[in-house]
Structure 1
Amino acid sequence: MVFVGMDHGTTGVSFTVLGEEPIHFKIGREELSAGKVSALEELSKRVDLGSIDLMAITYAMGDGIAEITPIEKVKNRGIISIGGAGKVTGGGTSVYDEIKESGVPTILIPGLHKNTPCMDERFRAAYSHAASPEKVSISYNAYLETGLSNMIVSDISSNSVSILVEDGKIRGAMDACVGAMGIIHGPLDLEMIRDIDDGKRTANECFSRAGAVKVAGVDTKVARTKDEIIRMYLEGSREAELAIQTMVMTIIMEIWGLRGITKRIDGIVLTGSIGSMQKPINIFQMIKDSVEEIAPVSMIPPTSGSVGSAQIAKAVFTGEKDILGIKVL
């Protein structure tokens, strides 16, 4: 049996093929938006498309659906609007349409939002959006890898999102626009709100420069931002050092905040290109040292989004009707 998972991320679209041996690959957003690469052609180089039993994909905010849904039953790619979703390049849209038209059996994973039944009603009341769909995939991968039913999963990369899992169900999450900083995205503060009101920048433009980039003063292409901040940090830049320290502080605050509203946490799982980073900067250890008082801290690789999607595809194909509290249509 062959299962494929896709993670629609900020810097690119990642795939995992679960067959005899796992295969991972990523296509950069700039390549996709320029029309230089076909996602299906790249996938077909690694697996016979006709052998795929089921593919599970994510797209944008995933706020237009609340169940894991066959792609042919999804309207408007499973979103309410593309607005407010960070930098828009169109690359992910072309991948979605390619997959839908391919005939490969495919399901779409929803995001976490105010209409997600398994979420605590207080989270649903407080936040219209809590996390994009790949966070469901990441949480499922963490659940399978650790066996934990009560945990906090923090995905830290271009943005930072922490997810609360209680009794094997996703109960809450803090999205980047209201919670911790990532490399690119972060919460909107008062100065940004004033800039928006004064017409200096759109809310989405502010959101896309509210992470570590804001502190480091970096202004480059999204795909290069992380490497630029790391380069500056290693060269002794005070701005880059402060950017990393500030980002880590907000992540620690977020994890402790989620701990404060639940009775039991058996583990904390870090992932993402930043959350799992140990070299050249040991950001994993920085966070671990400040939260291990809560529970043991572990990590899963930054491929967890596409891996988790593929694992969801396998679970659904074999008859699972519930993934961490999210129903399968």
Structure 2
Amino acid sequence: MYVGIDHSTTGIKSCILFRDGSRETFVIDRSPDEDGGWSYVEMLREYVCPDDIEMVSYGYSYGDNIDAVTDIDNTVNRSIVDTLGLGHEFGTGTIVYDELQESEIPTTVFPGVHDGLDTVHPYFSHYSPLTGADKFATARYAQEVVCNDEFGETYDGDTFIAANVSSSTMATYVDQGALRGAFHWMGLIHGWGDVESIRQVRDGQQDLQDVFMKSGVLYRSDHQFEDLKQTPSEKLLEMVEYATLHNVYSLLPFARHHGSGLDVIFLSGRFSRTEEPLDLRERLQSQL
């Protein structure tokens, strides 16, 4: 029995994989109202006996302080350099991490995509980190799906773009089994800080701690973090569409001219299945 944990923007998402192939999932919301009066291990106990778990794998935050899948007991500072720029420090993911590290449950942590990974092409090492640990996991999941012939054609699963279509839109490029790079322009919550962000920090309107979280579409269009807990409006979904296309097409020239080509474009993330109020699935499939 295995447990996978995604430290996502909106919640801590857990999937329990049983020996018979069945799955059970549950989500712990990340919220400003979180009181911290809960235990992750006790939540797990509602579904399984923790002693029966063979391995937990956790993708926590940036994951930029490790360069390989690592035993949680061998990580320092929860596998990250620091939390600068992340904002929304509700402590939900931290509680999960610390409990697992203190427990007897075998747990591994996987890295994000950053300049410490020796497979990343030097061009994509200019900025670091590029994506969090969840996108590393997405790329590995995409490889598994492609290898198992779920596209109806024969691929070896070695060369593809994996695009995440959710509140944080990002894409990774895997070439001959090696994670070579990633691209992110902007998402509903995250974005790269620009001159306007620097001005706001200078003028005390925001601080360095949340500069990335306040550079996305949501903050700059007067929406609230809690708006993402439900299906966003058509206007916001259109921005997700544009960002996904931008991310994928930004990686295509590199794949074709400096990699070994491209076999598959793999879409994942909760908005990749959205059909209302905008059929995002159909629109992306028709354009990629």
Give the Cα separation in 1 of the matches to 2:175 and 2:74.
30
Determine whether 1:162 maps to 2:171: yes
SS where residue 262 of structure 1 aligns? helix
- Matched with 1:142 is 142
- Matched with 1:17 is 16
Structure 2: which 5+ residue stretches go unaligned?
A: 148-156
CA contact (8 A) 2:7 2:93 kept: yes
Structure 1: which 5+ residue stretches go unaligned?
A: 234-240, 292-329
- Matched with 1:253 is 246
* CA drift at 1:5: 0.9
Q: 2:198 aligns with which of 193, 199, 218?
A: 193
Determine whether 1:180 maps to 2:185: yes
Give the Cα separation in 1 of the matches to 2:131 and 2:114.
7
Aligned length: 273
Q: Deviations over 1:185-216 (max 9, x none)?
A: 22323322322233322244342233231454
The percent identity for this pair of structures is: 27
SS where residue 68 of structure 2 aligns? coil
- Matched with 2:227 is 224
SS where residue 54 of structure 2 aligns? strand
Structure of higher RCO (CA pairs closer than 8 Å, 6+ residues apart): 1
CA contact (8 A) 1:181 1:251 kept: no
- Matched with 2:282 is 285
SS where residue 77 of structure 1 aligns? helix
Give the Cα separation in 1 of the matches to 2:168 and 2:220.
15
Give the Cα separation in 2 of the matches to 1:208 and 1:265.
32
* CA drift at 1:78: 0.7
Q: Deviations over 1:168-194 (max 9, x none)?
A: 1111012xxxx3322222232332232
Q: CA RMSD in A?
A: 2.0
SS where residue 255 of structure 1 aligns? helix
Q: 2:272 aligns with which of 253, 275, 279?
A: 275
SS where residue 81 of structure 2 aligns? coil
TM-score by length of 1: 0.77
Give the Cα separation in 2 of the matches to 1:155 and 1:49.
31
Give the Cα separation in 2 of the matches to 1:22 and 1:121.
39
- Matched with 2:151 is none
Runs of 4+ in 1 over 4 A off after TM superposition: none
Note the 1:289-308 alignment, pairs <5 A.
Answer: 289-291=286-288
Q: Deviations over 1:85-143 (max 9, x none)?
A: 2421111111111111111011111111111111112212x112111111111111111
Q: In 2 relative to 1, CA 229–208 (structure 1 residues): closer, same or farther, beyond 3 Å?
A: same
CA contact (8 A) 2:17 2:24 kept: yes
CA contact (8 A) 1:211 1:247 kept: no
CA contact (8 A) 1:180 1:247 kept: no
TM-score by length of 2: 0.87
Give the Cα separation in 2 of the matches to 1:56 and 1:196.
36
